[in-house]
Amino acid sequence: MDALKNKKWDAIVIGGGHNGLTAAAYLARAGVSVAVLERRHIIGGAAVTEELIPGFKFSRCSYLQSLLRPSVIKELELERHGLKLLSRYPSSFTPCLDGRYLLLGADKDLNHSEISKFSKSDADAYPRYESQLERFCKFLDPVMDSPTPESLEGPSSLNDRMKNKLDRSIFWAHCLRRAASLGQKDMVDFMDLLLSPTSKVLNNWFKTDVLKATLATDSVIGTTASVHTPGSGYVLLHHVMGETNGNRGIWSYVEGGMGSVSVAISNAAREAGTHIVTDAEVSKLKIEDSGAVSGILLSDGTPVHSSIVLSNATPYKTFAELMPENLLAADFLSAIKNSDYSSGTTKINLAVDALPEFQCCKGKTSHQDAGPQHFGTIHIGSESMEEIHTACLDASTGLPSRRPFMEMTIPSALDKTISPLGKHVVNLFIQYTPYSPSDGSWSDPAYRESFAKRCFSLIDEYAPGFSSSIVGYDMLTPPDLEREIGLTGGNIFHGAMGLDSLFLMRPVKRWSSYRTPIRGLYLCGSGAHPGGGVMGAPGRNAAHVVLHDIRKQRGG
């Protein structure tokens, strides 16, 4: 702690989540002295591995990797720093209560064969659907990897205003060129995807309920939206724009759990000279009379000095809780407070002593051996889009879904480092669970256990005996995610990913460039462009903006 307070740092990063670590790594590699301050005893934020039950290592919040930007992996040399991705084949399994099932993956022949069990025309359409989404993702790639073309706010020189205008013109010219190369038909389809409900998009492509439901889950994961909510199509696109080892749209496990992503980034940051401190909770930002940041105050009263602070906390936490009162314009603070931080997500991490035996696959593999149905994401309770919508309707009345839909993953089927021999780790990502249920409280142990058993019983319908295999579990409801991980409202994206909260509107309009109304204070977390997920893009982009401002200040 003495090393913190006895030095004026070039930059301080609040929060040791993956974006904060990414920003610190880029800054340190550029010769900036950086200190990262993490409130918890462990780095990683929502990308963290914790051994909560002896021998079982849980990816406690985020549980799959795909969105981490290739530029971050390459530039920070994350493979050299220990990152090992485990490709899943197949990548998706949806069991049906009528005894059928659907497997999907990167193998086009497998996809055609599996979908043909339900519809030959859907099997023929599926490659065209994937190809279209890939074109849209390529169109968006440069937007993900660059700051927004934001206008300068506050007083600035004529030279700065002219340069800003030129930079914005170049950005939009590049966008127009990419739009022209995409073509008018694809651009219209792209806008249709962004603005439409997912149900409309998928109904226009396919007939098969289980196929549409499997694809639709990506459009509502981490949200309170329904598949019938206009604009949910963007979240669908957001979740397929990633890649694993160059293969677009493929999600992977990370050996050692998702904490290995954060450890690899922290290794790169430390190698470059970053100072990382855990158990260091920031209580307040220190702001000078001139309106510039001068550092932070830790909860134990320790001051840490710097004229540059990057916040990896949520926008609400940064401006409504860490900021001294009466320093922000009322309209800015109101916009921050009125942003959508709602969540419908609960995460349950389980230790089990046997793999689930799905009724629809009975006899195809031995009970002890992992089969194709165990490797990818298992979709439970989502055989049709209407099932997902019904689960959402329950939550809209304040009730946890009576039949929640779940993404179930079993990373230990591929990763032998996270569980004892013969036993397994199971992740359940569950929707919809309101922050404040109308029929009880998440602080009531009996209420919590009742909902957990509801989820386990639903899995039993597809895999009889699953409940009896449970050794123990850890459950994070929206209030738990807020308290433990610092996610305002329990929202895993640091704020909703609706069309009104993206790009130039993220976190709020006129302040999308990572800069804030306080000079020297920047946002670098998922609440900034381009948004949530384990991307690293907000951290990387914010660091580049900070380095630009440092060079400008030094006359470089």
Q: Residue range 156-169: average pLDDT?
A: 87
Q: Which pLDDT does position 300 carry in this prediction?
A: 93
Mean pLDDT of 439-450: 97
In the chain, where the domains are located: 2-47+259-339+496-553
CA–CA gap between residue 220 and residue 242 (Å, rounded): 17
The whole-angstrom separation of Cα 161 and Cα 312 is 28
Domain 2-47+259-339+496-553 has CATH 3.50.50.60: yes
DSSP, collapsed to helix, strand or coil, labels residue 285 as strand
**Which pLDDT value is given to residue 1?**
62
pTM of the model: 0.95
Look at 249 and 318; give whichever has higher pLDDT: 318
Read off the pLDDT band of 366 (50, 70, 90). low
Mean pLDDT of 64-72: 93
Return d(Cα 462, Cα 101) in angstroms, integer: 11
- Answer for the pair 271, 24: CB distance below 8 angstroms, yes or no: no
Q: How many residues does the chain have?
A: 556
Residue 450's SS3 state is helix
Say which residue, 555 or 67, is predicted with more confidence.
67
Calculate mean pLDDT across residues 358-372: 79
Structure confidence by residue, pLDDT tens digits, 115-133 = 999 999 999 999 999 999 9
Q: Which position has the higher pLDDT, 379 or 167?
A: 379
Overall average pLDDT of the 479-498 stretch: 96
The more confidently predicted of residues 281 and 66 is 281
| DSSP labels, 14-76 | E--BHHHHHHHHHHHHTT--EEEE-SSSSSBTTS-EEEEETTEEEE-S---BS-S-HHHHHHT
**For range 344-360, the mean pLDDT:** 96
What are 177-213's pLDDT values in tens digits?
Answer: 989 988 999 999 999 998 999 999 999 999 999 999 9
pLDDT at position 209 is 97
Q: Summarize the confidence of residues 385-413 as an average pLDDT.
A: 96
Q: What pLDDT does 242 receive?
A: 75
Residue 62 has pLDDT above 60, yes or no: yes
Is the predicted pLDDT of residue 362 greater than 90, yes or no? no
